[in-house]
Each structure stands twice: as structure tokens, then as C-alpha cells.
Structure 1
């Protein structure tokens, strides 16, 4: 049995819009325009003075009537800043850790989401501003502690603001192992940054085996263009259980013409 989900990734810019207004409810409203099942968020503030000490991961999740897992890439006393996954589906934290960086601290968050027919591995990250940092961070995420440790055939989504265009080293590293969801369905790839006049495709949804993309679009409503400096990407994904994929790969009726003769 196949399972369809709608996945969204969004750099929320600490919920500060291009009009400089701080408004987590507006971010939640943009997300709600897309009606996603699973949401990957970057640049989320928790307890930071600049954003009024609010827990933005919890606030956004509450507005959407969902639950959140948050990981701070930056943690200074009570101030935190990082990535989150928000969903109403059963979710289990697998791993949350910092990534190597000579610049601003970066991290990644890995959760397993139970879709009944299959368990989806979701990794959300926000890579650095330096090319050398991004390449190291991408290599770590592809290594044994992260994607390299996931059993072959298990469905995986890696999403977030990679700060990387298609010709960058970090993007190319990831694209060798995973498929870019925009490339699967769109003849023209849409940029995501800056939101008012997008020029760069920095935000990405990558998928692994057993996942098909029915639709992948950059959401550019009037509200989205002002709520953050990035636009969200929304992707409709179809997942098939590993057992079904194994069965489909077997020759029908025992294989070959001999099998067909026994019909």
C-alpha cells in the first residue's frame, strides 16, 4: 500500500518578515496555506532576546495543532537557535548534533516518522555560509553517523537551507546519493531567496529510494513573500513499503518464459 504525504521545508528567518515584523503566527499561516503533513524548519529561535524570548518551534506547532522536535545549532546560556521538524504524525527523535564549522555553528536534526505502512527518515539541516564549511558538513551528513547509517532501501528525506546552488560542491556531494525533488518534476527549477524577488535556489528537498515526487513547487503567495526572507518548498511525495518494492523487482510467475508457461 502506497502512502502519500505533503512535505514542506522553510527557512523562517527567526519569524522576522521582510517588513521587519516579528510574527510566528504569520509563518504558521504561510505553512497552513500549503497544508503539509511534515514540516522542516530552519532559523528557529527559542528563548532569544531578539525575538522576545519566545519558543518559536512550540508556537508554530501550536498554531498548526502539531508537535515539534527542535535542535539548537547555537546554544548560548538560555538562548537557542536551530532547526525543527513539525508534524501531527507519530515522530521519534533519532539524532540531533552539531556539524563541523569554522563560522557560525550549524547542526542537523534526524527524526523517524511512522507512516504505518513505512517509517520515513527525515533529516533537516541548515548549512554554513562558507563553501568549505558546507562541503565538510555535507560530507558528514552523508557519512556513517547520518545517512550512511540508514539501511539500504529505507525512505529518506534530507531537506533544508543548504546555502548551496546546483553548481556548488556541497550540492553536488548530496546529489550523488539523493535525488533533488525539484529535478524530478519541474523542467524549470524555481529559486527561493530572497523572497520578494527570488534569484537563488538555496533551499532543497532531497529524496532517497522508494519515494516518488508527484509535485514540487516553491510557494510564493503574497503572504509568503513578506513572512520570511526565504520562500518555502512544498513537495507531494509517494512512498512505497520496502516489501512491495522487493516484490515488484521479482520476475512474475517464477521468472522468464518458463514461469509464464505455468499460468
Structure 2
């Protein structure tokens, strides 16, 4: 069995679970994570909660790298270290500070100054790469990585006040999105008969029509890879909407947003369609099956969810959600 957790990290801002008393460090509600020591304490508390759940893979969205607002930490690296895992990858959707000039990274890992067009200039002043994006962490080997840009939606022009006063207008540009895919190779007794799992993580746009297009592109790209597929992340779409789009097969259930009192599920898992499958198990959403893009079925073993759930963590305005995967007999 393979347990996969997905969580919109919200750059580790303390959330609904920050004062629930489950972390050894106590209540972290309202903690100022601009302080590096405090930011690391929050990540430590999160790692404790994740370890209690004991997932094998963690798919993260809204992950900071080197941002002032989160203590300038490499959040993916620190969390992997705290979990004791060696296999991780961060993929920046954009480079640059949150409140500054955002730009497309030259290489999404942002591991070197050369990965960002302004990286060499920052290095002169002793500053490392800065960015924001998605990440995958795994206790099992991931032998290859792929990143695909999913683009951004249209900008939004808002007016507040006098319509003839130019100062009443503000232009908001949409955030760039991407897909990060890891080639996971779990031990033979974890997913018997499944030598490789193509596991993707993404965070889609808040504008529905843009999210529809991005989801279709992400699933289409993922399913070109040989073997079974799993796409996880914050889709910003309801279960009913994703099912109606006919992209993949939904796994898992339970509301994930907002974390304090979840009323809707916008964080999802998609896997390959089944052929002549039995009714959904307790961990699978009872939604219509759908084919892969173009009507063809991807080759390789199929997976089913045999369990799962949701819970609020010390961070984020999303609840995390997980599924337990097994091969279909």
C-alpha cells in the first residue's frame, strides 16, 4: 500500500490546526514566520503532524523558497530534512520575491543563481534564489523529474471609487502555474506489480475556465508517460466539476476548504480509468468514470484507493487530504 498526502502549504502560514495542541511545540496560532527560527518551528510542528499520518509521498502547493515572508527558508528542503527523506524536488512557477518583480525561471529548481535571470545579480549581494511553486517529497526513490508550464489566466482590472480617476483602478495579473512530475519507484511489496508510478502535483488557477484548460493540459501531459498515473493537488474546482470534465478518475473524498470548517473539496487525486471496474471502495469518489484524452486508455496497471481522509494541519487555510493506494487485482 502507498499513502499519498496532498496539501496546499499556503507558504506555511499558521492556520486552523495551529492551536489544536497536537504538536509538541504547542500552540503556534498567530506565529510570525518572517522570523527564521519561528518559521522553522512551524515546519517542525508540521513535520510532526505529517509523521503521525505516515504518508509515503507528500505533494505540496504554494511552497516558498527564500521568501522574506516565510523566514527565507527553502521550505521543501527543510520539511524533507525533518521527515528524514532524501527524495524531493521543488518546481518554481515563478522566480522572484512575492512583493517584487516576478519572472519566469530559467530552470524551475532554482538550485543555482543561473536558474534565474536575475540570480547572478542577487548572488553578488550574497542573496540566494527566490521563488514560489510546487514540490514533491518521497520516502522512496524518484528517479526522474519533469516540469511543464501550464500558463496563466487573463489579468483582472478592478475599479474602486471614481470611474474617471485613474488611481481607482488596479490591475491584478494571474499567477503562473506548472506541473511537477516524479517517476516514483516504490519497493515491490508496496505496490505489487507496479514498478513505476508517474506522480504529478499541480496548483490550478482560481478562475474556473482557466483551471479547466490547465487540468486538461496537465492530465494529458502526465498520461503520455508509460505506466500508471496519479495527479494530486489544489485544483480550485469542486468534485462535481472535475467529474463532469471527464478527465481521469477521481479518488478520495471529504471536504478540504476552508480548513477551519471544510464545506467543499477542491484538493483532489486523479488516476487512470478502470476497465470493467467494481463499484468504488470507501476511498473512491462515486463519480462517472472517464477516459484518457482522445478516448484511449493509458497502458499499465491501474490503482484504486482503499482508504483515505482529511485533516487540518498546523499550517494553511486548506485541510490536507490523503489516499491509500493499491493495485487493482
Q: Same fold (TM over 0.5)?
A: yes
2:74 is the counterpart of 1:55? yes
Distance in structure 1 (CA, Å) of the matches to 2:229 and 2:46? 26
> Is the 1:89–1:115 contact (alpha carbons within 8 Å) kept by the matching residues of 2?
yes
**Offset of residue 132 of structure 1:** 2.0
Normalized per residue, which structure has more helix?
1
What do the CA deviations read for 1:114-134 (whole angstroms, capped 9, x no partner)? 124411110000001111210
2:181 is the counterpart of 1:162? no
Call closer, same or farther: CA 1:49–1:93 in 2, change over 3 Å. farther
Corresponding position of 2:291: none
What is the SS of the residue equivalent to 1:27? helix
Provide structure 2 residue ranges, at least 5 long, that are not aligned to the other structure: 16-28, 34-41, 97-117, 119-128, 154-173, 189-194, 273-300
**Offset of residue 167 of structure 1:** 3.3
2:222 is the counterpart of 1:147? yes
Distance in structure 2 (CA, Å) of the matches to 1:171 and 1:141? 15
Distance in structure 2 (CA, Å) of the matches to 1:55 and 1:172? 37
**Offset of residue 171 of structure 1:** 5.4
Over 2 Å off, 4+ runs = 18-22, 170-173
Paired residues, what number? Answer: 221
Query: Structure 2 length as normaliser, TM-score?
Result: 0.63
What is the SS of the residue equivalent to 1:227? coil
Distance in structure 2 (CA, Å) of the matches to 1:231 and 1:106? 21
Corresponding position of 2:46: 27
Alpha-carbon RMSD across the aligned residues, in angstroms, is: 1.8
**Offset of residue 96 of structure 1:** 1.1
2:185 is the counterpart of 1:114? yes
Distance in structure 2 (CA, Å) of the matches to 1:116 and 1:190? 29
What do the CA deviations read for 1:136-156 (whole angstroms, capped 9, x no partner)? 21121132xx124123xx221
Call closer, same or farther: CA 1:129–1:20 in 2, change over 3 Å. farther
Corresponding position of 1:204: 268
> Is the 1:46–1:80 contact (alpha carbons within 8 Å) kept by the matching residues of 2?
yes
What is the SS of the residue equivalent to 2:202? strand
Query: Structure 1 length as normaliser, TM-score?
Result: 0.78
What do the CA deviations read for 1:219-262 (whole angstroms, capped 9, x no partner)? 24xxx2x422111111111136xxxx7xxxxxxxxxxxxxxxxx
Q: How does 1:225-244 map to 2 (within 5 A)?
A: 226-239=314-327
**Offset of residue 39 of structure 1:** 0.8
Corresponding position of 2:5: 8
> Is the 1:6–1:235 contact (alpha carbons within 8 Å) kept by the matching residues of 2?
yes
Distance in structure 2 (CA, Å) of the matches to 1:57 and 1:64? 11
Distance in structure 2 (CA, Å) of the matches to 1:149 and 1:156? 10
Match of 2:251 among 164, 171, 181: 181
Deviates more, 1:6-15 or 1:69-78: 69-78
Q: How does 1:33-52 map to 2 (within 5 A)?
A: 33-52=52-71
Corresponding position of 1:260: none
Match of 1:192 among 256, 263, 266: 256
